[in-house]
Amino acid sequence: MLNGKKILLVISGGIAAYKSLELIRLIRKNGGDVKCILTQGGAQFVTPLSVASLSENPVYTDLWSLKDETEMGHIRLSRDCDLIIIAPTSANMMAKMAHGMAGDLASTTLLASNKPIMVFPAMNPQMWENAATQDNIKTLAARGIKIISPATGDMACGEVGKGRLPEATEMLESLITHFQNNKPLAGLRAIVTSGPTFEPIDPVRFVGNRSSGKQGHAIARALSDMGASVTLVSGPTSLKDPDDIKTIRVETTAQMLEFCQKSLPADIAVCAAAVADWAPEQYASSKIKKGNDDKLSLSFTQNPDILKTLSTPSSSRPALVVGFAAETEHLLDNAKAKLTKKGCDWVVANLVSADNPAFNVDENQVYFVTSKTVEEWPKSSKDDIARQLVERIAKHFANKAFKIAAE
Ligand code: C5P
């Protein structure tokens, strides 16, 4: 139900921290991935070892840990997730958040975050009712932070009142509801091409490229997360088919085109595949043997262009067609030329260089090119680029809907 959603769980100090261990288990059982930050206070109640074992991820505790700062870093930690939850959230943690303090890993990560944040306060009823806490809650809520009110009941301190952390199953429900409500692309259909294509030479050899499919698969997941009904047409990759996304696996460019066309009509097409432009003219039905000649010549014919075909004006053209451009030189000129030549609406362009290998790596630095604008997007994970692109797509369709409604 959480479909590979990445959750960053901050565990701050409180006797209720034991419930977060159960929450980690439930998130994983429901298909989510969870990374945890344990505050100093949190570590008084649960151990880093139990959190790491249950999450099967490293646990982050220290802002000044050189290893985490080089490999992960608080900025990356705050960006590389779909949702941040703080459970339990102590009164102290809320006060720090309300005042923008950043003296430890948890508060710094929260201040650096551009992701939705959900807090589960848990504390003694008097602390909860204290005007300082209530003011902090109002401040946080006004900033768009989702506050899940504590439950009422017996407290560990012996008092009775409001301040209990909800049970893990209830916290899980809040997470699922959050993801269900955030679906601006519901009702729209999307086709995504991903990975390389392989063109066979003989039964054991092919012409292909190094594309991993990471970017295309991430886009398919991001579209699906925002509610689109996605068909992913993927060339050969080692990635597993994304949960709940119709995935068609193909080998050749001709098959990729065939299944894209069969998946029409669609509202959105994103061609992220690194398609082989050429296919051997002849297929040898048995393995080509080494002969006396020390040379082998193959001739190639040009493959159909899937992006261009999908972009061609017709009654079945998707309303928005997005292409990719990987270039080794004159990136922006080539990307702009591609918009016109292929007839697509947007191009996501990246320079393939020693600094930005683009292929088969997790990070990329891209430019977002339309007929009117060129934007440089900062280097980030392919998951983040996918989310940013899909947010753009959602905005595009929201504007369109607004225009139609206003007409
Ligand atoms: O022409 P070039 O290969 O540089 O264009 C890249 C863009 O075109 C990518 O979006 C790629 O998926 C798409 N493409 C395609 N079919 C081809 C070649 C490229 O869809 N035969």
pLDDT(40) > 90:
yes
pLDDT, residue 354, reads: 75
Pick from 47-61, 188-202, 286-300: least confident: 286-300
Q: Determine the distance separating the centroid of ligand 1 and the alpha carbon of 186, expressed in angstroms.
A: 28
| Ligand 1 atom index nearest CA of 326 | 4
Judged by average pLDDT, the poorest of 42-56, 130-144, 357-371 is 357-371
The finding on whether 347 has its CB within 6 A of some atom of ligand 1 is: no
| Cα–Cα distance for residue pair 88/217, rounded to 1 Å | 34
What digits encode the pLDDT tens for the residues 339-352? 999 999 999 999 88
Q: What is the mean pLDDT of residues 147-169?
A: 89
Is 199 near ligand 1, meaning CB less than 6 Å away? Answer: no
Which residues, including other chains, have CB under 8 Å from residue 406's CB and lie 6 or more apart? none
Pocket test for ligand 1, best of 207, 234, 257, 307 (most atoms within 8 A of CB): 307
Average pLDDT over residues 233-248: 94
% of the chain surpassing 90 pLDDT: 76
The type of residue at 345 is: D
Average of per-residue pLDDT values in the chain: 92
6-181 homologous superfamily: Flavin prenyltransferase-like (3.40.50.1950)
For residue 168, the CA-to-ligand 1 centroid distance in Å is: 47
The pairing of beta strand 320-327 with beta strand 199-202: unpaired
Pocket mutation for ligand 1, best pick of 191, 211, 252, 271 (most atoms within 8 Å of C-beta): 271
Is the minimum distance from the CB of 194 to ligand 1 under 6 angstroms?
Answer: no
The residue whose two tokens read 């669609």 is 266
Which is the closest atom of ligand 1 to the Cα of 323?
10
Active site residues: 157
Choice from 253, 309, 312, 342 to test ligand 1 binding pocket (greatest atom count within 8 A of CB): 342
pLDDT of residue 305: 98
**Sequence spans of domains, the chain:** 6-181, 189-280+297-406
Q: At 339, is the secondary structure helix, strand, or coil? A: helix
Asked whether residue 73 carries a pLDDT value surpassing 80, the answer given is no
CA of 267 to the centre of ligand 1 (A): 19
Question: Quick one: pLDDT at residue 66?
Answer: 57
Using the predicted structure, report yes or no on whether residue 403 has a pLDDT greater than 90: no
Query: Which residues pair with residue 59 across a beta bridge?
Result: 36
pLDDT above 60: residue 407: no
Q: 6-181 and 189-280+297-406 share one CATH topology?
A: yes
Tell whether ligand 1 has an atom less than 6 A from the beta carbon of residue 325. yes
As a whole number of angstroms, the distance between CA 186 and CA 319 comes to: 15
Give residue 190's pLDDT. Answer: 98
Residue 65 has pLDDT above 90, yes or no: no
Q: Write down the pLDDT at residue 377.
A: 94
Neighbours of 196 (CB within 10 A): 25
Ligand 1 in reach of 324 Cβ (< 6 A) = yes
pLDDT at 356: 67
* Dihedral sign computed on CA atoms, order 331, 336, 340, 342: positive
Report whether residue 46 contacts ligand 1, using a CB cutoff of 6 Å.
no
Q: How far apart are CA 128 and CA 118, in angstroms?
A: 17
Per-residue confidence (pLDDT) for residue 353, from 0 to 100: 78
What is the Å distance from ligand 1's center to 342 Cα? 9
Q: If you average pLDDT over residues 238-260, what whole number do you get?
A: 95
Cβ of 193 less than 6 Å from ligand 1: yes
Q: What is the pLDDT of residue 179?
A: 87
Q: pLDDT tens digits, residue range 261-317?
A: 999 999 999 999 999 999 999 999 999 988 877 888 999 999 999 999 999 999 999
Confidence of residue 118 (pLDDT cuts 50, 70, 90): very high
What does pTM read for this prediction?
0.69
Fold of 189-280+297-406: Rossmann fold (3.40.50)
Q: How far is the CA of 258 from the centre of ligand 1 (A)?
A: 15
6-11 vs 83-89, strand pairing mode: parallel
> Which pLDDT belongs to residue 243?
80
